[in-house]
Amino acid sequence: MHDRGGWPTDARIDRTEHDLADWEILMDAIVGTLGQRSVMNVDELRRGIESMPPAEYEAASYYGRWLFAVETVLAEKSILAPGELDARVEP
């Protein structure tokens, strides 16, 4: 999903706030650390977000998109094996 801004819509903008969940704060910290250690930069993050299939992009939350991008880019760099995160999620 690339160049999403400026699309016409009649839908109301959802301005509701929510408290950040622990995983969202962790996601922010992970992206910050990956940047500081020159593993992954913010432009790679944005490009990773843009590579999301449109339906998945629209359904995902802000940090859900970050998670998708980090997993995508780290897999490209062979830092994560394909499916490695899923395999480590406890049932």
Partner 1 sequence: MRIADRRHDGHHRTPGYLKGRHGTIARVHETFTNPETRAYGDDGQPRVRLYLVEFDQRELWPDRPESSDHLYADVFEHWLEPAS
What residues make contact with partner 1 under the rule CB under 8 A?
2-3, 5-6, 41, 43-44, 46-47, 50, 77
Nearest residue (CB) to partner 1, 24 versus 80: 80
Neighbours of 35 (CB within 10 A): 14
77-to-68, 70, 71, 80, 82 alpha-carbon distances in Å: 14, 11, 10, 8, 11
CB of 36 to partner 1, least distance (A): 16
Nearest residue (CB) to partner 1, 21 versus 41: 41
Rounded Cα–Cα distance for residues 72 and 30 (Å): 14
Nearest residue (CB) to partner 1, 20 versus 32: 32
CB of 61 to partner 1, least distance (A): 22
